[in-house]
Amino acid sequence: MKIEKTFIKDLLIIIPNVFTDDRGYFSESYNKRNLENLVNDEFVQDNESLSHKGVLRGLHFQAPPFAQSKLVRVITGSVLDVVVDLRKGSQTYGQHFKQVLSSKNKTQLYVPKGFAHGFSVLEDNTIFSYKCSDYYNKASEKAILWNDSTLNIDWQIKMPIISEKDKIAENFANFVSPF
């Protein structure tokens, strides 16, 4: 397993070892021991979504005390995964990071607490999986507007399919970080 640091502190790219032969492949998608020096989270819930090309989900997070760290990956298809640093004292507050995650590259992203997270779907029938460090809590669920001009994120899709909830999310300029 290869672990790469990003320009945003604590945000990690994880590239698992993949062993292939005539039968297919084998890959260890999670191993707590490999991450324990960098990640202090215990994952308690796994989520999975199926989306079609052109869908955009995000930018979502849960506010404290129910904030979640996530370990995200794609099982089938591909996404452009995007995170925004919402940590008040961070040198990269308000900056975003993008990474293509796909079933081909098997790349994962560790997203610590204090980040908004979203993704745009680049292929039909994409299955997205994420491990969470806390349980879903509807009352603490929040969102930042996906196309906020302050954030200036290129989602690499035109005319995305978006939920009603994501259409009315909060502008970053009006956002007061709980982190």
**Can 96 be counted among the known catalytic residues?**
no
pLDDT of 149 higher than 90: yes
Q: Is residue 134 part of a domain?
A: yes
Name which residue leads in pLDDT, 86 or 35: 86
Catalytic site residue from 30, 60, 93, 96: 60
pTM higher than 0.85: yes
**Can 130 be counted among the known catalytic residues?**
yes
Q: Is residue 179 part of a domain?
A: no
- Counting the structural domains of the chain, the total is 1
CA angle 113, 86, 179 (to 5 degrees): 60
pLDDT band at 152; cut points 50, 70, 90: very high
Range of the domain at 79: 2-174
The CA distance from 24 to 45, in Å, is: 28
Catalytic site residue from 96, 110, 117, 130: 130
Q: Is residue 10 part of a domain?
A: yes
